[in-house]
């Protein structure tokens, strides 16, 4: 009987998942395995929702956004009987291995399943937030930041015409990597990150100075910043205990504060999920493909409980437990660089 590898994608989707799925399927076929796709992340493992994943199914997906398998933020550890159902599905489908593609939440579940139940899992890191420790980059990030830079440049154009200050809000609830790269890549005038509270007086002074010189000033803000002296709206939490940020409206809150402080007309824009859609950049296509191929190799070698990481230019296995132990937030070196530039 042909051995079987299952693939699931969990958490927020991001460009690069489809190339990664394709990478697993192509390499697995070379190694003599057939693949099945688990639908909608861990939810599909609980419900035993699997579909065949043939070479034909992945033929034209390398440039496609989203995930052909669907995704969810389901946490089997938070569902009554969830873990038992996952173990049951693993047996029922006759799996040799499960490749779980996700961020800290999805991979955190994989790490626990390996540790507690010796499940044959291999992890593939994905997140547009780029906040997974133990890998230099995750696919999805390059595409998201590229889209955000384009949005930022458009805001500068219209802002200059109207002599306005513009605020762009990007995703990143615990780590400000997308905001940081966007601000540097688009030549912004101020950067607001979750890693440090926004100093309103400093921001207003810098924006006024930039506006006086250039007739426009741009702020790039991560969705979860703390603004000093401001009472932030209350958050709701998801199944993994993370803030659901859709109602927080950082860009609008900042723009009101900026207008009041600077007396310069200010407008804001939120690009939200636009950053997560569309075809992956070339970088994300190649990275997704490489980590997918490596995941199939690790599954074949029986190197379970590991995630594929990008270290320099090499894709290497790292333990899932270590990889999910802490989040990678913007480092003091990067903060210093942005302070030197902005």
- Write out the residues near ligand F6P by the rule CB under 6 A: 11-12, 103, 127-129, 171-173, 223, 245-246
What are the structure tokens assigned to 242, written together? 């993370």
Q: Which is nearer to ligand F6P, 179 or 296 (CB)?
A: 179
Q: Rounded to an integer, what distance in angstroms lies between the CA atom of residue 35 and that of residue 3?
A: 9
Strands 217-222 and 266-270: unpaired
Q: Which is nearer to ligand F6P, 128 or 257 (CB)?
A: 128
Q: Which is nearer to ligand F6P, 246 or 326 (CB)?
A: 246
What are the structure tokens assigned to 206, written together? 């810098």
Least Cβ distance, residue 103 to ligand F6P (angstroms): 6
| 59 touches 11 (CB < 8 A) | no
Least Cβ distance, residue 39 to ligand F6P (angstroms): 17
| 70 touches 40 (CB < 8 A) | yes
Q: Establish whether 129 is a catalytic residue.
A: yes
Active site residue: 13, 129, 131, 142, which one? Answer: 129
Q: Which is nearer to ligand F6P, 268 or 275 (CB)?
A: 275
Sequence-distant (6+) residues with CB within 8 A of 153 are: 186
Least Cβ distance, residue 227 to ligand F6P (angstroms): 17
Q: Which is nearer to ligand F6P, 38 or 128 (CB)?
A: 128
Least Cβ distance, residue 201 to ligand F6P (angstroms): 28
Least Cβ distance, residue 276 to ligand F6P (angstroms): 6
| 233 touches 248 (CB < 8 A) | yes
Q: Where are the beta strands (DSSP E) in 103-216?
A: 121-125, 165-170, 190-192
Within a 13 Å sphere around the CA of 253, how many CA atoms are in the beta-carbon half? Answer: 20
Alpha-carbon Rg for the chain in angstroms: 21
Give me the active site residues, please. 129
């Amino acid at each position: 009987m042909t051995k079987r590898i299952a693939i699931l994608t969990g958490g927020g989707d991001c460009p690069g998942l489809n190339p990664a799925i394709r990478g697993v399927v192509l390499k697995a076929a070379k190694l003599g395995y057939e693949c099945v796709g688990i639908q909608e992340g861990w939810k599909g493992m609980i419900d035993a929702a699997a579909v065949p994943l043939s070479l034909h199914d992945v033929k034209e997906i390398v440039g496609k956004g989203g995930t052909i398998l669907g995704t969810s933020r389901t946490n089997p550890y938070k569902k009554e009987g969830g873990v038992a159902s996952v173990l049951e599905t693993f047996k029922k489908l006759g799996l040799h291995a499960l490749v779980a593609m996700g961020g800290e939440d999805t991979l955190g579940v994989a790490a626990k399943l390996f540790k507690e139940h010796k499940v044959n899992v291999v992890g593939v890191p994905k997140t547009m937030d780029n906040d997974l420790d133990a890998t230099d980059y995750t696919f999805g990030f390059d595409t998201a930041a590229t889209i955000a830079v384009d949005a930022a440049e458009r805001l500068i154009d219209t802002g200059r015409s109207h002599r306005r200050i513009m605020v762009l809000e990007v995703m990143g609830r615990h780590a400000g990597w997308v905001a940081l790269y966007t601000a540097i890549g688009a030549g912004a005038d101020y950067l607001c990150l979750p890693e440090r509270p926004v100093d309103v007086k400093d921001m207003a002074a810098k924006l006024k100075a930039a506006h006086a010189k250039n007739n426009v000033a741009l702020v790039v803000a991560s969705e979860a910043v703390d603004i000093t002296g401001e009472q932030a709206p209350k958050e709701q939490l998801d199944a993994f205990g993370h803030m659901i940020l859709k109602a927080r409206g950082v860009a609008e809150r900042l723009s009101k504060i900026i207008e009041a402080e600077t007396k310069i007309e200010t407008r804001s824009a939120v690009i939200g999920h636009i950053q997560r859609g569309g075809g992956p950049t070339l970088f994300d296509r190649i990275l997704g493909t490489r980590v997918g191929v490596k995941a199939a190799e690790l599954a074949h070698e029986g190197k379970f409980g590991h995630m594929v990481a990008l270290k320099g230019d090499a894709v290497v296995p790292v333990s899932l437990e270590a990889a999910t132990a802490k989040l990678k937030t913007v480092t003091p070196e990067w903060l210093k660089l942005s302070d030197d530039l902005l």
